[in-house]
Structure 1
């Protein structure tokens, strides 16, 4: 028994020596933040390896997984963002960096489908640009946590079409279901889009294999993306979600927050709307009042 105990002690000492040696290798860095992050990363990674007693075969599988994630990544398909999302690292990073302030709107994942230089539209215009889906009127206000209206805030919005695809997932160069607008002098905004629908994150790569192995769905709850910016305020990246959606409790990237779930009200074809738009069929509407935290 004593011999076994001595062997276990010796093995633990050997493993700790490796960790200490690697941690020390970063001690001479001139960048204090780099040193802190890398030393903590090493300690946690080594603790994980020791905790699960990682086998060499499993290590090789992990290395191959990361290689394949790199191989499948393109300018419009970022597998490492997907990996971060499905492990909840994206949401945890967002939580750490968007501290609670008053009733500021909660942030959520950015996602891989944002595109710079979206078409600029005016209040009351349509972001769909031909994307298929049920018409949806979205309106709201942009304010600070003390209730002040925020005029001229930049509002980027983007979403998938009714088939669950973003414009960048098509190979014809289309720009649809995305736009940029600004809040009016009173801090209000409004636009036409399409009713959000659920869709799967790309699951034909290594991240999809991970989800399948875990028995998890690749589906995202129906949502509409927002990024809101104004001088003196913290940039907000968030979504709104459709109340009653099937995937609210199993969203594959853990992006759903109860405060971001909104009612999408059904309307008939002849029912009046905010812009007197002539609609041939039913449409929906929702309200999203945005509250920005100060920088």
Structure 2
């Protein structure tokens, strides 16, 4: 019997009641005996075991179960082609990060992965090295540079780097109604594995919180805010594709990021530059700007 099952029934529960509950669990798990897909069978049996253990452990009431069904129904109703409330739910429960952690095994000094988020869009424009991914996005300019290497320290030329971020007002381009493309692009590393581009200095922002997930966070006393970050997706033949962010050191939200995406190795120094400081690529900047270095290490494919 698993640990979760052994703790399932509250102390003092009548032995006859325990037997009834255990009998039901065993009948439900046996219903999957004819499943021909071993992995699917494993997933379903374990799901039932853990779900029943939860119900028995907390002695879930029928009104509470009805409220849970209503909550999930409302998540479905608010979801559309631009908003996925179930991703938000997965994120705020830490399920997204746990799945990522399980599927991105530690390998040498490979860069750690974190959540994908709901705002990635295929077909981003390509910019040259030193180009600007911000486009019309508002915000303070930020120079981003680094290298992409293998865990053996070998530079990876031609690695594809997808980058996307919120603007200075804390909104992604897809959250506007004018079909703009801003704050997202892709580029490729040079022969030495180097990359560099202009973006905007990351700012904190709330996840969409006008729906059932936002109401859940409010009810349990949690903030919908995400720590300031810049998204990366990095790929190269023979390497494990990396999905990650970098975060701004000193951000007060680092310890309370609502989707649990912050990892210490991904917190970087965004160095503030005073107005008039000469900028890379000869860009003339009237006000302050920032710069950050992020050296990326890709694990081998299949690890």
Bin for the TM-score computed over the shorter chain: over 0.9
Query: Are residues 1:71 and 2:77 paired?
Result: yes
Structure-1 residue corresponding to 2:8 = none
How far apart are the structure 1 equivalents of 2:85 and 2:204? Answer: 20
2:259 to 248, 253, 257: 253
Query: CA, structure 1 residues 187+58, in 2 after alignment: closer, same or farther (shift >3 Å)?
Result: same
Distance 1:39 1:27 in 2: 9
Residue 31 of structure 1 pairs with residue 37 of structure 2: yes
Matches within 5 A, 1:43-192: 43-192=49-198
1:18 aligns with 2:24: yes
Post-superposition offset of 1:75: 1.2
Structure 2 CA distance for aligned equivalents of residues 292 and 103 of structure 1:
9
SS of structure 2 residue aligned to 1:192: strand
Once structures 1 and 2 are overlaid, which stretch shifts more, 93-102 or 207-216?
207-216
| Matched-pair contact (CA < 8 Å) for 2:279–2:285 | no
Structure 2 residues without counterparts, runs of 5 or longer: 1-10
Q: Which residue of 1 aligns with 2:277?
A: 271
**Deviation for aligned residue 1:268:** 2.2
2:60, 2:168 → 1: CA distance?
44
Cα distance between partner residues in 2 of 1:122 and 1:30: 50
- How far off its partner does 1:194 sit? 0.1
Q: Deviations over 1:66-113 (max 9, x none)?
A: 000011111111100000000000000000000000000000000000
Are the equivalent residues in 1 in contact too, given 2:166–2:183 (CA < 8 A)?
A: yes
**Structure 1: 5+ residue runs without aligned partners?**
none
How high is the TM-score relative to the length of structure 2? 0.94
The separation in 2 between residues aligned to 1:6 and 1:276, in whole angstroms, is: 75
